[in-house]
Amino acid sequence: MTTPRSCAAGIALVLLCVAAGRAVPEEAETVAGYSAEEALRLGTRMYREGLLPSGEPMRAMVSEDIEVDGSMFSCQSCHLRSGRGSLESTVITLPTCASWLYKPLVGREMRPESEARLPDRLNPPPFREAYTDRLVGRAIWVGKDPNDRELSWVMPRYKLSTRDMEILVYYLKHLSAEFSPGVDDTTLRFATVVAGEVNRTDRDAMVLTLQAIVRDRNSQTRHEERRAQHGPFNMEELYNPYRRYSLAVWELQGDPSTWDAQLEDHYNEAPVFALLGGITSGEWAPIHDFCERRQIPALLPITDFPKLSDTDWYTVYFSKSYFQEGETAARFLERFEAVVKDAPVVQVRRDRRAGRDAAAGFNAARSSRGLKAPTELVVEPDRPIDKEFWERLVASHPGAVLALWLEPADVGDLATLAAVEPRPPAVVLSLSLLEDQGDVLPAQVRPFAYLTYPYSLPEDVGRSRLAVESWLRAKGLPVTNFRIQTKTYFLGWMLAASVKRMRDDFYRDYFLDVMDMMRDEYYSIGAVYPRLSFGPGQRYASKGCYVVQLGDGDPPALVKRSDWVIH
């Protein structure tokens, strides 16, 4: 929804956040003939995608005589979105943002541990003059720093017109120029969002766990704070990053169409650096959109209905939820031997969000593999899904594989499918849509029913579960909703790791950049997901889903029928 108000706010924000407040350009300012906003937009595209204002790819030299397509060598791919660079691997990429370039580099500013790891050929001189706009341009054109040091050839030299260079330099001058909002000398401010009708147990499972994490952190930092204030001067770099956390709980009420305005009010009252967790019974989209517009990182909300996007940056989700289960089902069926080649495929669902998402994932995965679209039956709310329904379905689609995105109330008569001729070769359902209650599925259908299950299998949960439980016990929190508590516990661990790596570079984009540099994570999350993985721009951390069948026992055992990731 784009109201004139949010539009205006959007434009103001590009300036506020990219330009970070003070550097808001004068109204009349033009850059290479463009308005300041337009120049920032074009500069963003050059930096992130390697595309010139004309839309053509930038050209770059990666050695004296090898020219490459700059869209494969975007600045962001090395210097990261925040421009803070990376000292992670064997290649040290210096920062290229305003806060780094436009001041002299003195030896002390290299972090001691980074300095030690710099290979000799990249060891920066103890002193480098501040860049000016002209010198930044020269570095990008010919690879010389202000002291005439020749930059390594890892840094390409770009073939840009003077005009295009002006735009790129203007962008760099506003990139991570000042700390993001929500941080001051002592405190990193966070909020968590509780949106709509969330039951009290689930709300508390998230909020109380998060508050315990914050209390924990703050009791540990007291010592660090003292050192930060009274530490010896030359150790300043080491000690001053420590900030206490504060956590506000933003409760959103009423219709989701009013959430955006409520979020604005909370934010304007006290801006936060990032949102942590959060929970909603409905769609996360209004909060997602707010964060995207305000450029606020939102970490790992608890929601069954994430917003799916390949390009949005600010919200990191646990998974794609039902959509991912649908994708998994499609992949599983494709390789499933009992499926006769070219068997018709029929999806059945009600017109509800969860089933819709699963069906969308199923369709997307099939179409990306060049398979034909399945027949999709959307059953009216007042129409029962009973014996007669199934008989008719099989009569009109003989031999069809069925993907049934149904909830517990609709699966009671599935036994019919075991008796009809021809019996469907396979039936796929989602165990999470069945609210994890395998026992609602009639025994007769179980031999040919396959269920998507997006969590760790019970037999793999053991040790991780103990670790989380004992932490909860130590914090005086009873186990209420274990999945929510474990997810939140994991979030606390991610947060600690990311804040530590971010050190004193309090830029929101950098915060996400460092999170993107995390790898596969198993720690503490094993009780919910086998693993979570991160990577540049990846925003759905759980990449897999099992397919299981129901075995013996009460509740029925889950028998694994696929690997976690089906390629």
- Helix (H), strand (E), coil (C) string for 236-292: HHHHCCCCEEEEEEEEECCCHHHHHHHHHHHHHHCCCCEEECCEECCECHHHHHHHH
| Residue (127 or 522) nearer to ligand HEC, CB | 127
Shortest Cβ 521–ligand HEC spacing (Å)? 26
Shortest Cβ 302–ligand HEC spacing (Å)? 37
Is position 485 an interface residue for ligand HEC (rule: CB under 6 A)?
no
Give CA–CA dist 471/159, Å, rounded: 56
DSSP lists the bridge partners of residue 193 as: 250
Give CA–CA dist 540/306, Å, rounded: 9
From residue 140 to residue 169, the character string flagging contacts with ligand HEC as x (rule: CB under 6 A) and all else as - is: x----x-----xx-xxx-x---------x-
Give CA–CA dist 330/361, Å, rounded: 8
| Residue (46 or 345) nearer to ligand HEC, CB | 46
Shortest Cβ 24–ligand HEC spacing (Å)? 22
Within 357-416, the residues that bind ligand HEC by CB under 6 A are: none
| Residue (69 or 563) nearer to ligand HEC, CB | 69
Contacting residue, 40, 75, 207, 212, with ligand HEC by CB under 6 A: 75
Contacting residue, 97, 136, 385, 429, with ligand HEC by CB under 6 A: 136
Give CA–CA dist 339/343, Å, rounded: 7
Within 44-73, the residues that bind ligand HEC by CB under 6 A are: 73
| Residue (75 or 429) nearer to ligand HEC, CB | 75
| Residue (75 or 403) nearer to ligand HEC, CB | 75
Cα Rg of the chain, angstroms: 27
Contacting residue, 40, 43, 52, 96, with ligand HEC by CB under 6 A: 96
CB 464 within 8 Å of CB 521: no
Give CA–CA dist 145/150, Å, rounded: 7
423: nearest Cα among 451, 452, 391 = 391
Q: Is the CA virtual torsion 273, 278, 284, 286 positive or negative?
A: negative
Give CA–CA dist 278/298, Å, rounded: 9
| Residue (32 or 140) nearer to ligand HEC, CB | 140
Shortest Cβ 151–ligand HEC spacing (Å)? 4
Q: Both tokens of residue 185?
A: 């000398």
Shortest Cβ 429–ligand HEC spacing (Å)? 47
424: nearest Cα among 402, 440, 453, 452 = 402
Give CA–CA dist 8/2, Å, rounded: 10
DSSP lists the bridge partners of residue 34 as: 31
Is position 546 an interface residue for ligand HEC (rule: CB under 6 A)?
no
Is position 322 an interface residue for ligand HEC (rule: CB under 6 A)?
no
| Residue (168 or 477) nearer to ligand HEC, CB | 168
Is position 170 an interface residue for ligand HEC (rule: CB under 6 A)?
no
Shortest Cβ 155–ligand HEC spacing (Å)? 3
Is position 565 an interface residue for ligand HEC (rule: CB under 6 A)?
no
Give CA–CA dist 366/335, Å, rounded: 12
Shortest Cβ 85–ligand HEC spacing (Å)? 7
Is position 238 an interface residue for ligand HEC (rule: CB under 6 A)?
no
80: nearest Cα among 559, 505, 548, 368 = 505
Contacting residue, 6, 35, 71, 77, with ligand HEC by CB under 6 A: 77
Task: Tell how strand 345-350 and strand 401-405 pair up.
Answer: parallel
Shortest Cβ 499–ligand HEC spacing (Å)? 25
Q: Both tokens of residue 182?
A: 């929500």
The count of residues interacting with ligand HEC (CB under 6 A) is: 23
| Residue (75 or 494) nearer to ligand HEC, CB | 75
474 Cβ neighbours under 8 A, 6+ residues apart:
none
| Residue (100 or 259) nearer to ligand HEC, CB | 100
Binding segment (CB under 6 A) for ligand HEC, from list 9-17, 18-26, 89-97, 323-331: 89-97
The phi, psi pair for 72, rounded to 5°, reads -85, -10
Contacting residue, 87, 122, 415, 496, with ligand HEC by CB under 6 A: 122
213: nearest Cα among 477, 519, 464, 466 = 477
CB 313 within 8 Å of CB 81: yes
Q: Both tokens of residue 379?
A: 């059953």
| Residue (139 or 276) nearer to ligand HEC, CB | 139
| Residue (55 or 370) nearer to ligand HEC, CB | 55
350: nearest Cα among 300, 385, 400, 390 = 385
Shortest Cβ 146–ligand HEC spacing (Å)? 8
Q: Give the residues lining the site for ligand HEC (CB under 6 A).
A: 73, 75, 77-79, 91, 93-94, 96, 101, 122, 136, 139-140, 145, 151-152, 154-156, 158, 168, 172
